[in-house]
Structure 1
Amino acid sequence: MGRKMVGNLTTVTSNLDNFMVGLLCCAHASASTDQLDRTQINYLRAEQLAAYLRLAAGNENFLGITRAKANFKNGQLPLGKTEEAQILSNQLSYGLWGLYSSAMQVAGLIAGPERLLTDQGRALVAEMVTCMGEDQWQSFNVLAQSNQVIVSDVEALAPAFNGMLRDTPLRRSVVQALLNWQSAKPLQLELYSKSTDYLSHFSGEISVPVFCEWLHGQTETSDALRVTIAQIQSLEPLLILAATLMEWLQGQKGSDRAALLDILQPRLEGLSFSSAWQEVAKLPHRSFLSRLFESGNAHDADALLSCVLEQNKLVMQQRGGAAWLEWQGDALRVRVANDRASIPESLSLHCHGRWWNSYFIGSFLQIARQAV
C-alpha cells in the first residue's frame, strides 16, 4: 500500500548524507575498472574513507559508526575488503552498497549490478565535486586507493568533504532527484509537493499518522491520494491488533484457553475497524485480514485467537518450519517465547492510538526534511 505513494525509498533509507556518499562511492568504484569484484572493493574503500571523513568532522550519523570510532581512536584506518577494514559485519550487505542502491536505481541515478552512474547520477556527482573542490575530490580518490590511511590526512580533507555534505543547494538537488524524479508515479510527485508544503510550516518530531491526518484534511489533496491514505489508516490498527495478540500469546506458555479468553474479552470493548482497506486490489493475506477484521468488530475473543494461531501456522509452513503457537488440548504450546509479553487494558485505544508501520512515508518525510 505504501508503494502506491513511495516508489523507491525503504524503511532504512532515510539519511540524505548516505545517498550523497553512496553516489560518490559509485563514482569512485567504477572509475578504473569494469569488473564487479574490483568495483565492490573500490566501493568499500570509498565508503570506509567517507566514514572516517564524516567522523573527523563530528558527524556520527552513518552506518558502521561503532567500528569506525574504534579504529579512529586507535589511529588505525585500514581500507578494503579484509575483516579488519570492514566497518560492518558484512559491509556489502548492510552498508550503502546493499541498503541504498535499490532506491538510487529506481530513481534513475545508477544502473546495473556494478552501480554505474546514469547521466543524471553523473550530473549530481559533478555538482558534488564542484562543491567539494576538484583538488579535494582527487585527494579523496587517491586516499581511497590505499590499504590504510592516516588520521592527519583524513582530518585535512574532512572540512571540504563535510562542507559538501552540508551544502543546502546541493542537498536540495539530491532530494529533488530522489523524491521528485522524472518518471515517478503521480502519487509520489503529489506527495513530494504536499510534504514540502507541510514541512515548511512544521518543526518538531516527524509523525507519519499526524502527517497522514493533515494530508487527508487538505482540500487540494487529490481523490486518489486521499483514498490511499484512508486505506492505510484503516489497515494499520488491524495490523497492530494482530501483532499485539501474537506477542502477548508468545508469553502465555501453558496457559489455559478459557483463562486467555477471560483476559482478552473485556479488552475488546469499544474495538472497531474501518473497511476502507478492503478496496485494495491484490492485498496479500486478504483472507486472514478479513477474518481478523470480522472477529475484531464482533468482539469475538475466541475467533481472534484462532485467527492469529492459524495465520502463524500457515506462514511457518510456507517457510518450512513449525508453528510458534499451537493448542495442545486446551493448553497453549509456545515454541518461540516472548518473556516481555503484555496486553493493554484497552485494545481499542492501543490499536487506534499508535502506528507501528511507516509505509515508507517516514523515510520520505525524513529525506524531504533534510533539504530544508
Structure 2
Amino acid sequence: MASEYNDPSTTTTLPSPPFDSISSIRFHPTNPDLLLVSSWDTTVRYYDSGSAAAPSRPAELKAKFDHRAAVLACAFNGDGSRAYSGGLDTGVRELDLSTEKITHLGTHADSVSAMVFAPHVSALVSGSWDRSVRFWDGRAPSGSAETSKTDTPERVYALDVVQNTLVVAMASRLFHIYDVRNMRVPSQQRESSLKYMTRSLACMPTGEGYATASVEGRIAVEWFDVRDEVQEKKYAFKCHRQTVGSVDHVWPVNALAFHPVYNTFASAGSDGTVSIWDHKVKKRLRQYPKFPTAVSALAFNCTGTQLAIASSYTWDEGEAGARVQPGGVPWVGVRRCGEEVRPKGWSG
C-alpha cells in the first residue's frame, strides 16, 4: 500500500532498488527520464523513470553494473552515452550504457569519494581520500586516461562544478575553488562557514556560488565573488532538526541539489525529510512528507520537472541503529515537481 511519501499520483517508485545504503543519484544531462543510482551494495543501477514524457510507461531498470566494493560516486559523461563510477576499491571506471561493458580507467591511492563531469573541458573529475583531485579522459588510449592530478591538503569529501569553476570540499572544513582550465593552484582557499564536518555540496546553476551542509544540521550559502559587498550576503541557517519532548535532535544534511531553472535548492537529511529552499529570500518553500528512514541522496533532472530521492539507512547510528531502523529497506523514487520548487513571484 502506498504511503504519503510514495503516493503514485506524485511519485514513481523505481523497481529493483539497491539492498544497501544509496550513495548518489545522477540524472542524464539531456534526457529527463534517465538516471544513475550508486550504492554500498557494490552496484551502479541505470534506470528509465518512465514518467516525464509518458506517465503510462512504467519505470524500468535498464542495466546494473557490479563492482568489487561499495560504490560512493557516479556520473554521466557530457552526452550521456557513458557513465563513470568510483568507490572503496579505489578504481575509476567507465560504464558503457549501451553494451554494459566496464572499462577500468585508473586508480587513486585510496577510496574515490566524489566525482563530477566537467563539460567545459570534457573531463571526468574525481576526488579521493588519498588527498587528490584527478582528471580523466575516457577517450584516451588504455593506460593514459588520467590527464592531470592535483594534490589537496586534506581528504576530499565532495566536489561540484559549474561552468569552469570547481569547488572541492575537504576534511578539516577546508574548501578549494579552482578554474578547471588551470588546476595548478586554487583560485580561492576557504574555510567552511559551518563548525562541523562537511557532508554535502552543490553549485548554483547560475554560477554565482554554492551551498554546503554539515553533519550538524546546518546549511551555508556562499558566493564566489570575493568583493566585500558580495561576501556580506553569505549566511548559514539551521535545518533538519526536531525537538522531541525536551530533547533537541540534530541530523546530518546528506545531500543538496539546485533546481536547474529556478535556482532554488533541495536538501535531504537523516531525519527522513526533504525540503525545498529559496535561498534568495531565505525561506523554505516546501517540506515533503517524511520518509521512513534517512534520505541519503537526491537530484533534479535536466529540465527540473522531476526530483529523484533515495531513502536508505546512512549508518549515523552504527550497526545498532540498523537493527532498529524503521522502514530500513532502501527505496528510490522520482517525484514530479510542481509549483513548490518555484520562487514566489517568479516571472521567468
Greater RCO between the two (CA within 8 Å, min separation 6)?
Answer: 1
TM-score surpassing 0.5?
Answer: no
TM-score range normalised by the length of the shorter chain: under 0.3
Using the size of structure 1 for normalisation, the TM-score is 0.22
Decide which structure has the larger Cα Rg and report it.
1
- Pick the structure with more helix per residue: 1
- Pick the structure with more strand per residue: 2
